[in-house]
């Protein structure tokens, strides 16, 4: 019983060490569209586009996701993209009816188990989702 426990702990630590080593390879992204200060309208279909540098990894199960913040990047809790191939550099998004003057996108990359989710928030590209019913 102790041997199985030692083996489990050892495998966990090895996996953790590999994950940390892979994480140092670097991921970065830069939003191209929407641009800083751009005003988007609820229901509008927008091309969300970015450039990205992916880490040198042969891990499987990798994906890119884009998450929306409505409070200037303090919290990110609305996924706006499907799980995308890491080589994808754009998708089309229908703007929700969630007015804000501080919309920020976070372009994330990760590989199930082998590469931790890496975030790349874009606060320099804050955009606006217009309030189409200001009297409400």
How does pLDDT run across 3-53, given as a tens digit for each residue?
554 544 443 433 444 434 434 458 999 999 999 999 999 999 999 999 999
pTM score, two decimals?
0.78
Residue-wise pLDDT tens digits, 36-48: 999 999 999 999 9
CATH of 2-129, one of 3.40.50.410, 3.30.930.10, 2.60.40.10, 1.20.140.10: 2.60.40.10
For the record, the structure tokens of 14 come out as 């090895």
Residue-wise pLDDT tens digits, 61-115: 899 999 999 999 999 999 999 999 999 999 999 999 999 999 999 999 999 877 8
Interacting residues of 21 by C-beta distance below 8 A, sequence separation 6+: none
Name the residue among 133, 114, 124 with its Cα closest to residue 38: 124
Pseudo-torsion of CA 74, 84, 41, 69, nearest 10°?
A: -10
Question: Count of alpha carbons within 13 Å of 84, Cβ hemisphere only?
Answer: 20
Percent of the chain residues past pLDDT 90, beyond the cut: 67
């Amino acid at each position: 019983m102790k041997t199985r426990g030692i083996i489990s702990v050892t495998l966990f630590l090895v996996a953790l060490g590999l994950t940390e080593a892979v994480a140092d390879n670097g991921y970065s992204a830069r939003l191209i569209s929407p641009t800083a200060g751009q005003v988007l309208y609820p229901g509008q279909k927008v091309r969300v586009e970015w450039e990205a540098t992916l880490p040198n990894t042969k891990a499987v199960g990798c994906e890119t996701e884009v998450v929306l913040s409505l409070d200037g990047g303090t919290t990110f809790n609305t996924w706006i993209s499907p799980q995308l191939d890491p080589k994808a550099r754009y998708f089309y998004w229908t703007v929700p009816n969630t007015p804000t003057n501080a919309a920020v996108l976070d372009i994330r990359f990760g590989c199930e188990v082998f590469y931790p989710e890496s975030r790349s928030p874009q606060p320099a590209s804050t955009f606006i989702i217009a309030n189409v019913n200001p009297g409400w």
